[in-house]
């Protein structure tokens, strides 16, 4: 995957900066970061988990990956753990917003 962004200094375009990384590299970086009970994950534009601690790592897959909706993974004994705030954050992520 590739990420890039324009670089501006004092409002003047200076160039572009970018990085290329494989999904496995991104997955390793995300899954190796834990802060107590908090962890990182990555969603696609439809809210499906591409990287999550409960998914089989991509280098261990023996068949096509299944990307479940994040609400399916973030559940305890089948009960979704998404409260109103978490659902608001999810909606902003899917809309491409920050905050």
Instruction: Give 70: exposed, middle or buried? Use CB within 10 Å, 0-12, 13-18, 19+.
Output: buried
pTM (global) more than 0.95: no
Check whether 78 has a pLDDT greater than 70.
Answer: no
**What's the pLDDT score for residue 55?**
83
Gap between the Cα atoms of 31 and 56, Å rounded? 11
For the segment 11-23, what is each residue's pLDDT rounded down to a tens digit? 999 999 999 998 8
Query: Helix-strand-coil percent breakdown of the chain, rounded to 5?
Result: 25, 30, 40
Could you tell me how many residues make up the chain?
99
Check whether 10 has a pLDDT greater than 80.
Answer: yes
Strand duo 12-20 + 34-35: pairing: unpaired
Q: What is the mean pLDDT of the chain?
A: 81
């Amino acid at each position: 995957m590739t990420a890039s962004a324009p670089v501006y200094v004092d409002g003047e375009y200076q160039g572009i900066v970018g990085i290329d990384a494989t999904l496995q590299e991104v997955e390793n970086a995300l899954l190796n970061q834990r802060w107590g009970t908090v962890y990182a994950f990555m969603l696609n534009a439809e809210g499906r988990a591409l990287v999550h601690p409960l998914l089989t790592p991509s280098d261990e897959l023996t068949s096509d990956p299944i990307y479940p909706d994040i609400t399916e993974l973030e559940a305890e004994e089948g009960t979704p753990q998404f409260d109103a705030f978490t659902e608001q954050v999810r909606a902003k992520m899917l809309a491409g917003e920050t905050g």
